[in-house]
Each structure stands twice: as structure tokens, then as C-alpha cells.
Amino acid sequence: MTVITSGLDTWDPAAPTAGPLGDLAEAMRTLDADLFTAIGLIARAPRLLVATDYDGTIAPIVDRPTHAYPLPISLVSMRALAALPETEVAVISGRSLRDLAAMSRLPREVTLVGSHGSETDIDAVDALSAEERRALAGLQRAVAELSAELPDLHVETKPTGSAVHLRGLSDDSRAVAQAALGRIAREAGVNLVRGKEVADLSVVTTSKGDALRELRARLDSGAVLYIGDDISDELALATLGEGDLGIKVAPGAAGEGPGSGAPDAAIGAGAAGGHLGTGEASGRPDTHARFTIPDPETVALILTSIFELRRAWLFGKNAVPIERHTMLANGQSTALVDPAGRICWMPHPLPHSASMFSEILGSDAAGYYSVGLASGAKPLTQRYQEHSTLVETRWAGLTARDYLAPVPEDSQDTVLVRALTGDAEAEIRFAPRPDFGAYPTRLERVGDGVRVLGTAEPIMLHARGVEFEIVTENGSDTAVARVRPSEFEKQKVVLVLVCGGYFGDTDYLLDGGEEFVRRRAAGYWRNWVNSLDLPQLKREEVTRSAITLRALCHEPTGGVLAAATSSLPEGIGGIRNWDYRYCWLRDGSMTVRTLIDLGSTAEAEGFLGWLSGILADAAGPEQLHPLYAVDGSALTTEAVLEHLPGYAGSRPVRVGNAAEHQVQLDVFGPVTELLRDLTFTLEDLSEDNWRLTCEMVTAVERRWHEADHGIWEARREPKHNVYTKVMCWVTVDRAIAIAEHFGRTMPGAWRQLRETIADDVITHGWNERVGAYTVAYGEDDLDAACLFMGLSGLLAPDDPRFAATVDAIERDLRVGPTVFRYHYDDGLPGLEGGFHICTTWLIEAFILVGRLDDARDLFRRLDDLMGPTGLFPEEYDPASETHLGNHPQAYSHLGYIRVARMLDDLTGVPDPASGHTDLDDVEDTDRA
């Protein structure tokens, strides 16, 4: 048991911020550091019960019990806690339930338990047996006689007994009362519970311990915080175990009791056997609580702190807008840095591996790695270094350059370099939390740096000349250092984080070679950009989008990520949070096909090689899953990380993706379209690519007539989705084009198959009532993917049915600068934003039907949504003007590139409807 003193300044007061109830910095200055750590840990429990006693805990002890009112700030805090999700609040008191309700003035969301647990509702007396009623009558007569004998005695009548208050009695009267109470309990056969200056007599045998156990089970609480001050509270404190927290209000207590231990010890009163301590002999109170505090005012401070910490955990601590995160990449690994210079996301060793820094998912307890001014001043700017994935963040007097260094092709190391220059004092905080911060992390200072202990492979932060101090945050170690780069050799501080085995350039980086490695890392990207055929329209933005797409290509395997992150929400606070760190056949094909359009074919060749490897292990092409891990492995079962609060409180946080088990028959179309574009560009059709083409058609032959889950992976029954049928047609149409171009003999009746599929979807996909093509055969709901009736070439651009579909989708699914996928029930609760790729499809459709001015206008509005360093997440909510979804998203960038190229080709072409003849934004724009 650790006793609270004051003024312990072992925590960084700049780390927390003031909230609506209180200032956490004040709490850290006032409360013992170990207690504050314990509070921070229990505040992150997935399901939490906060329970307290009343008198002496939330209400100060007073001479007249009828005047014992709770402290106003405790009332406010308990009400606020009760309003939080997954949080229950209770008061367990010896008072009668009627008095407790009247005096506490707490809302019904706070559970009140009276008479030491015997009263859980206002009609508790009705539940008494006949024998208990007789005992109650005898008890009341005996107490009335005692009260007549001692007029100064205060008796509180309860439905199941009486409470006799001894406060204010003379010594003689007290002795008479004590003796009489024992006699009454024996003669009446009732339960006697003695507390401080009060004795409770009840015909119901129960205790606060029983009450707390029952509450915990009924509310399904995973963790419990209990605060009490009386002897009767020890029975409740004794029920607590590992993962719980018990606190005792004990004025004047000093020293430690049986619950003491290291800050990272299990939080639980009596976890090691539950025996009372022997602190009384040395001036310490006997208690099962781990901590003691001096007064109800400190209880109030704890309750406000619990609220602030839990609110931050549940809803995301200062959630940084998604689009303001910038991605680092080297063709193998990715990481995100926020505008303040904090690395907040970095999986290792593979893109779908657990992340070592996961702060973006709602909690700094999940890991971060920050650099910045020691004063806490905010950065002035953040931008990419030209045509690279190297990020430069500038403060007044300090510059940080961050990048993922090139690694050997056969290595799975992740090497993150941070180079600091300037003359201002900088603070470095290294808080790695492997495995998404699921377990406490321990660090060790070793030579010129810090080593992470207990990991499966070496993780080491090399920082020559930097003196780190290891401190504890949220139960895990954090390395903290302050440096002034101008005092170092070459006026630079070099920090090299190596995850994995030995990396040969570490010493070279630390010994002055960092600038050369940085040039090599930048050259990797710039040389590639110089090989591209880029449009003049939004040239810099298109370049950034192209770099982003290539950064999502995993060079060692050829797989392509849909996005770099997991569980960034499609709706703030909702459950539409998915793991996109995998390779969808559809997304990957579309990504590398876009790079072909810009003049780069290596990514497409790598992807098709990856796909050939997948097919080699498949039972047949028609059995392909919609997605795979980039290394070709099957996905792990979709799981929920209960310990993470999620971005801005959006839970659950998921890893894995259950869409792997869906039937998505559209995936063959994008693959075949990619094969056509690559072979036409190279003017070469290898036997492997011809075989792959034939396999895609074979898959369509066997399954095109089936229902499936569709492009959007709705978690509902399969349907005959229009987009799927269109993509089956695309598969056969593009395969025929390949065969004709290269003079190959088609191994089946492909032309007949193409006509059969076309007739089927054109006929059954059209909805006469709606006047448009709809999501699925026989359904009235619109879907942006139905634009592919024309975008694919299945319908001619001047077909009135295509124009009608474009009009209907614009009317029903477009809101301002964005286009929603659909508005129908997809089997999941909650809302989502508009999809950037759907917006680009509508722009493309506008171009096809001749609405060029509308296309240009919508493109400008889409361009305005791009993040400050040129990145797009997946979605945008026009109502709240919030960016949503995983980040950066391949779909968004490939769509942007496609329509920018199309509009660039139209420069100078008038809009038939308006006579518009130019584009306003042809010039380059540097958003950084």
C-alpha cells in the first residue's frame, strides 16, 4: 500500500491537458506517481465499474449524519463517468437506500446500494420472509428502548434494520450504547456491522463485499475501482483481484501496507492472498487497499482524473485529423508521422504485422516516438522533401528529417532514421510498444542507445552521444532525452531505430554518413519519378499520388497494400473499422495498372508474379480469395484488440479481415484488364501471362452466373450484383482483346460467353421503376459502382440508360464534393462518409457523357480535400467535414491520377454545355 503525499514531480506536466472537469497536470503534481500510474491503467479497462462508499469518501464526515452531502465535484465526476460508454458507477453505503438517494442527488445511471448491500431497490422490505419480519420488529423495539435511554443517540431507521450513530456521544453514553448493541444483536438474532462511529443492525445478512461481487457479475465489469473509508469497506476491498484497484481514505496514514509493490505490479487489493496487513503496530492502517489517501477532496481529484483519462482513452486523445498524417516508406516498410513529429504507426516486419507505435489508434499507451522542442512549442511546417517519402518537420530553431532507410533485398529489417539539426533544445521520447501495446514494455540503456527487452527479435534505438533516462508511462518504459543539436559533431543528432537483425550501415549513419544514406533514400524515389510520363494538370499532386501508390507496393513480394493502416474509422465512433494492410486482387490490379498508365511497368510485373504464386497453390482460379497477405499467406482470423480505444473512440480495433472468406467474383475483371494493359504496353505476351489470362476466363466461365458479396464486401447474403456481372464481362472482353492483338487461339467460346453475360446484365440490371441500373438484379437501391456499365465500355457513352444512371447517382449519392457508395442497408450499423474513388468515377462518367464543366468542377472540389502533404484517406464526411478511413488509401490516389490524366487530355477542349475552353489549375502546386 502506497500512501499519498504531495508534490511528487516525477511526471511530465506538459504531457496531459486540462479537460472539462479537471487538470490532469494538477493531479500528477498532487497524487503519488504510483497511484497516478494505477489510475491510468484502470482507466483503460474495456469495461470498468467505479464504486465508492458514501460517508467519508464522496461526502465528508460531519457531526450530524443528516448533513453529510457529497462534494459537488465528486457528484459531477460520477455523473460524467456514468455517461461514458462501457463504464458503470455505483455507491455502496451503509445508509438506507431512501436516504442515500435523497442525499446523494445522483442520477439513475449511478447504481445505489444501501444498507451494506441488503437494499438494491426501494421495495427491499417486501422481499423479507415472515421470520425476518418478526426479527425486524423485535430489533426496532430494542433500538427504540435504547434510544429512550440515551436521548442524544441518533438512530437511522432502515427497511431491514437500524443504523445507530455514536458520533457526539459522551464517553459514558458511548460505553452504554456499545454494550447494548452487542446484546441486541445476540438476543434479536440480527447481523451487526461495526464501522467508524456507527453500528448497523440488520435482519438481512449481507456485506459490501457481497454487494460488490453481485454488482460486478450483474454489470459484467471486467475491472473494478473501489474507494472506501470504513471497516465495512474492507470486505469490498478484499474481493478485488489482479486488474482491479482499491483505495482507502485514511486520514493521517503513513507508510506501506500489504498491497505495495513496483509500479508495474498487478493492480489489486489482496491479490496475494487477501490477508490484512500489520501496519497498525507501526502506525499504518490495516487494509486490503493498495493505496491510501487522506480525505474526500483527494477522492474527488481521483474521480475527475479517472473521467479525464477514460474519456481520452474511449474517444481518442486529441485525435489528429487523419488526412494530416504523412507516410514514410522505402518499398518494404511503412510508418506514419503526425504533424507534431510523432511516429504514431509502424508495423514490423511485414505490413500486416503488429505495430510497434500505435498511438493513432487512440492512446499514447499504445506507443509513439516523438521529437520536438523541449519547450513544447508546435512545429511551423511539415512537408515531403521533393519527390520522395522523406518528411521534414520544422520548428523555430529545430528541423527533423525522417525516413525509412533502404535495406538489403533479402532483409526484413525496418530502419527508421531521424536526423535533428538546429540550435534549440529538443526533447526525444521513445515509447515503443510492440504488439499494439498489449503488454508492458521494458527498455534498457545500452552503449549509445536504448534496447527493447523481451522481443522476439532485436529492437534497438542507436543514438550516439544522447543520454537517455528511462521513465515509466502507463506501466511501460519510455526513454526520454534532451539534446541541443548544435552541440553535437556536425551540428546534428542522428537517431537510428533498427528493428530486426544487424544492419550494416548503422555505424556509418552514426559516424557522419547519414546525409549520404538520406540522399540514397531520396534518390530511390526521385529516379523513379523522373521515369514517369506525368500530366501537366496538377503535376505535383499526381506525382505525390504516384509515389504513394508505389509506396504501397511491397517490393520483396510484389503484393500491393490497399492502405497502410488498420481500423481508421469510416464513421467516427462507429464499428466500421477494418484492416486494410492486405492485398486485394481488385485493388492491387487497379493500383499497378494506374502506374502503367504513368509509364512504370515493374510494379505490374511484380504483382502478376505474386498472383501466379498464389494461383500455383489454389485449387483452381475460380477458388481465389478476394485478398491475401502480401507474402501470400492466408490471413489470420479477424480479431478485436480490446485494449485499444480506437481512433477518436471508434471501436472495435480489428486486425485481420473476414472478407477473405467472401465470394467476390468481380476480381477477375481488374486482373484481366491489367494483363491487357501490361502486354499491350510491353508488346509482349509471355506464356505465363497468356496462361493467367486463360485462367481468369475459366474462372468466369465457371462462376459468373452465381450470386456474390460484391465489390463493397457487404456482410449480408450474396446477391446478383450488377458491378460483378460487368466485371465478368470485362474479364472476357479484355481477354478477347489480348488474344486478337497477339494472334492467340482462344481455348473456348469466349465471344459467345461475352455476349451472354452482356445480355444478362443489360437486361436484368436495369430497373425501370428507378430509371437506372441498380446495385443488384431486382433491387431498387443505387450504387456508385453501377457507373461501370458505361465506364467499362459495356454500354456506349451515348446510351441513354448510362446517362440516366449517371444522373440518378449524382442526384442520390453525391453530396457536395463527395459521392457515397450507396445508402442501402449493408448489414452493419452506423454511417460512413463518401468514397473518394466513387467521386472520381462520377468525374469520369461526366467526361464520357460530355459534361466536361461538371467534371472539372467536381475535380477541383476533390482536389481541395487533399491533405496538406498530398495524401488522401478513403472517405470524406461532408456533413462534419471530416476525413475518414484508412490512410493513405490506394483507391483514392489511383482514382485521382486517372481523372487528372483524363482532364489533362481535355485541356482546351470545350464543354458542349457551357463553352468552357480551359482549365484554371494547369500550373503546378506545391501543397507542402
3-state secondary structure at position 260: coil
pLDDT at 529 exceeding the cut of 80: yes
Can you read off the three cell numbers belonging to residue 401?
Answer: 528529417
pLDDT, average across residues 594-606: 98
| Number of C-beta neighbours around residue 914 at 10 A | 12
Q: In the prediction, which pLDDT does 504 show? A: 60
Q: In the prediction, which pLDDT does 438 show? A: 92
More confident residue, 110 or 278: 110
Q: How confident is the model at residue 116 (pLDDT cuts 50, 70, 90)?
A: confident
Over the range 251-275, which residues count as b (16 or more CB within 10 Å of their CB) and which as e?
Answer: eebeebbbbebebebebbbbbeeee
Of the segments 181-185, 336-340, 474-478, 624-628, which one has the largest average pLDDT value? 336-340
pTM score: 0.78
CB 693 within 8 A of CB 672: yes
Q: In the prediction, which pLDDT does 20 show? A: 52
More confident residue, 829 or 376: 376
Q: In the prediction, which pLDDT does 283 show? A: 39
pLDDT, average across residues 748-772: 98
CB within 8 A of 202, min separation 6: which ones? 115, 116, 118, 158, 160, 161, 190, 191, 193
Tell which residue, 584, 631, 570, has the closest CA to residue 884.
570
pLDDT at 169 exceeding the cut of 90: no
Q: In the prediction, which pLDDT does 526 show? A: 97
pLDDT, average across residues 125-143: 71
Q: How confident is the model at residue 285 (pLDDT cuts 50, 70, 90)?
A: low
Q: Which amino acid is at 857?
A: D
pLDDT, average across residues 50-79: 87
More confident residue, 12 or 898: 898
Q: In the prediction, which pLDDT does 203 show? A: 64
pLDDT, average across residues 398-419: 93
Tell which residue, 674, 795, 782, has the closest CA to residue 735.
674
pLDDT at 380 exceeding the cut of 90: yes
Q: How confident is the model at residue 818 (pLDDT cuts 50, 70, 90)?
A: very high
Q: How confident is the model at residue 1 (pLDDT cuts 50, 70, 90)?
A: very low
pLDDT at 12 exceeding the cut of 60: no
Q: How confident is the model at residue 502 (pLDDT cuts 50, 70, 90)?
A: low
pLDDT at 259 exceeding the cut of 50: no
Q: In the prediction, which pLDDT does 201 show? A: 75
Cell 458503470 locates to: 88
Q: In the prediction, which pLDDT does 511 show? A: 78
Of the segments 68-77, 128-137, 298-307, 551-560, which one has the largest average pLDDT value? 551-560
pLDDT at 328 exceeding the cut of 90: yes
How many Å apart are CA 281 and CA 286, to the nearest integer?
Answer: 9
Q: In the prediction, which pLDDT does 742 show? A: 98
Of the segments 30-44, 95-109, 214-228, 284-298, which one has the largest average pLDDT value? 214-228
pLDDT, average across residues 757-785: 98
Segment 639-666, tens digit of pLDDT: 999 889 899 988 899 999 988 889 999 9
Segment 443-459, tens digit of pLDDT: 999 988 999 999 989 99
How many Å apart are CA 118 and CA 96, to the nearest integer?
Answer: 9
pLDDT at 469 exceeding the cut of 90: yes
Q: In the prediction, which pLDDT does 94 show? A: 82
CB 263 within 8 A of CB 34: yes
Span between the terminal Cα atoms of the chain, in Å: 53
Q: How confident is the model at residue 890 (pLDDT cuts 50, 70, 90)?
A: very high
Span of 198-212, 708-722, 854-868 with lowest mean pLDDT? 198-212
More confident residue, 677 or 221: 677
Q: In the prediction, which pLDDT does 510 show? A: 79
Strands, E assignment, 377-446:
381-384, 391-395, 398-404, 414-422, 426-431, 442-445
pLDDT at 487 exceeding the cut of 80: yes
More confident residue, 785 or 918: 785
User: CA of 764: how far to CAs of 369, 720, 772, 792, in Å?
Assistant: 55, 9, 11, 17
pLDDT, average across residues 917-923: 42
CB 820 within 8 A of CB 876: no
How many Å apart are CA 97 and CA 439, to the nearest integer?
Answer: 42
Span of 137-141, 291-295, 374-378 with lowest mean pLDDT? 137-141
pLDDT at 425 exceeding the cut of 90: yes
How many Å apart are CA 212 and CA 120, to the nearest integer?
Answer: 11
Query: DSSP for 861-923?
Result: HHHTTS-TTS---SEEETTTTEEESSSSBHHHHHHHHHHHHHHHHTTTPPPTTT-----TT-S
Over the range 546-571, which residues count as b (16 or more CB within 10 Å of their CB) and which as e?
Answer: bbbbbbbbbebbbbbbbbbbbbbbbb
Q: How confident is the model at residue 276 (pLDDT cuts 50, 70, 90)?
A: very low
Average pLDDT, the chain: 87
More confident residue, 676 or 909: 676
More confident residue, 263 or 536: 536
pLDDT at 558 exceeding the cut of 90: yes
Query: DSSP for 70-100?
Result: --HHHHHHHHHHHHSTTEEEEEE-SS-HHHH
Q: How confident is the model at residue 4 (pLDDT cuts 50, 70, 90)?
A: very low
Q: In the prediction, which pLDDT does 582 show? A: 97
pLDDT at 168 exceeding the cut of 80: no
Of the segments 27-41, 332-346, 639-653, which one has the largest average pLDDT value? 332-346
| Number of C-beta neighbours around residue 527 at 10 A | 10
pLDDT, average across residues 235-242: 93
pLDDT, average across residues 388-395: 98
User: CA of 690: how far to CAs of 84, 230, 263, 589, 624, in Å?
Assistant: 59, 82, 64, 16, 18
Q: Indicate the pairing of strand 110-113 with strand 154-158.
A: unpaired
**Domains defined for the chain, CATH in brackets:** 2-118+206-315 (3.40.50.1000), 126-202 (3.30.70.1020), 322-529 (2.70.98.10), 539-905 (1.50.10.10)
